[in-house]
Each structure stands twice: as structure tokens, then as C-alpha cells.
Amino acid sequence: MRQSSIIDIISPIMVGPSSSHTAGAVRLGLLARHVFNSHIRKIKFRLYNSYATTGKGHGTDKGLLSGILGLGVDDTRIKNIFGSDIAQHIEYSFEYMEDFNRHPNAVDFIIEGKDLKMTISGESIGAGEVVIRKINDFNVKITGHYNTLLILYKDSVGIISTVTTLIQKEHVNIASMSCDRSGKGQIASMCISLDGELNEKIVDVCQYIKHVHLVRYIKKLES
């Protein structure tokens, strides 16, 4: 486990009222924005359990939308985000659900762009810490603590080593890695957390690897 530091204790500077329900919601929105990484036309937020029942009073809905629009946790525009100029060009709606199989503070982002659709699921796990757990049907783990390379590809021999070799050549250390696939030879996902910065060129190179469908380089969030 990551030990906390003094800075963790006397920060973040954030808009209230709750680190898990407000700041956590903004951070989840920001991560989802980076995962989608394309113009968002329409978005549905599906809030579960405690996020659904106490979300309004904690501004969770405002936080999620603000994150999607790229605002940071300390941005005072969060409070009046609904109906603001920045939210004008996006069609958004909210759904509230109860599901005991899901985390108490869980949310799904159902996003539509010009020719891309994605469902991203995340959880706010306490003290402002968050995790993106699923993208479409794939299990991933994106916390915002590391720069993360996410790749969706058609499962085939050698892809994982091609990617890790590229990273190795850049002298960047891999902090952790997780892979998931729907079945042999079908679509798979690879999620690599990195200790350093990856050259954007490598990200471009990954796009051209045979069988790769989608590449995202998700920068770590400011704490």
C-alpha cells in the first residue's frame, strides 16, 4: 500500500463538501474524460447506491460533469456547472440506481462521441481516491496516480511483448500491468501503469501495431 505523506494530509485544496462524493466525483470524471479522449456529444451518468442517495446533497452530479468537462477539484465553477456556458455543448443526463453488487460509490459513464461510444465504470474508494474499473466489458485499473497506457486490441500472439519492449526501449519502468480479454482471439485490453513519462511518439507507434484498435495515454491526475 502507498504510505501517505504530509501533503496528502493537508490537501487537497478542493470545493466541498465531501472528498469521496465531491472531489472523488471530479477525479472520476477527469479520468473518464482522458479515457474517452475525443469530443463528447452526449453523456449519461449512472450513479449507484450512496452516490445515488446522497449524491445530490454532496454535489456528486456536479462533480462528475465538471470532471468530464475538464475542471479540477478546486474549481469554483463546479457549484454552478449546470446551465453554465462550459456545459452548453454537451447533452447530459443522470440515472440513479441501487445495486448491492456494486461499490457504494460507483458510477457508470455512458459516453457517445462522433463515431465512438464507450461505457466507463469507476468507484470512489475513500478520501478522494478513485479507480476506473471497467471500460466497456474489460476490467482495467486506472487510479490517476500513474501515467497509464491503455490498449484495446484483438487478442493475438506477441502484442503484449511488442508494447512492453517499446516501453523498455524508452527506459520507463512499468509499475504494474493488467490484462483482460473476452475470449481467445477476441478483443482484449491491456492497462500499464508507468513510473515515468512516456514519449507521445510511442503512443502513436502503438496505434499502428497490427490488431490494435484503440490506444490511450492517460496522464496521472494532479493530487
For residues 31 to 70, the per-residue mask of contacts with other proteins, x marking binding by CB under 8 A and - elsewhere, is -------------------x--xx-xxxx--x--------
Size of the site for other proteins (CB under 8 A): 34
Taking CA atoms, 205 is separated from 162, 176, 197, 200, in Å, by: 11, 21, 16, 9
Residue 9 CB, nearest distance to other proteins (Å)? 4
Judged on CB neighbours under 10 Å (0-12, 13-18, 19+), 133 is middle
Q: Which of residues 117-136 bind other proteins (CB under 8 A)?
A: 126-128
Non-local (6+) Cβ contacts of 111 within 8 A are 32, 36, 40, 42, 43, 117, 118, 119, 120
Contact call for residue 12 and other proteins (CB under 8 A): yes
Stretch that binds other proteins, among 6-14, 32-40, 83-91, 204-212 (CB under 8 A): 6-14
Interaction site with other proteins (CB under 8 A): 3-19, 22-23, 50, 53-54, 56-59, 62, 74, 76, 78-79, 126-128
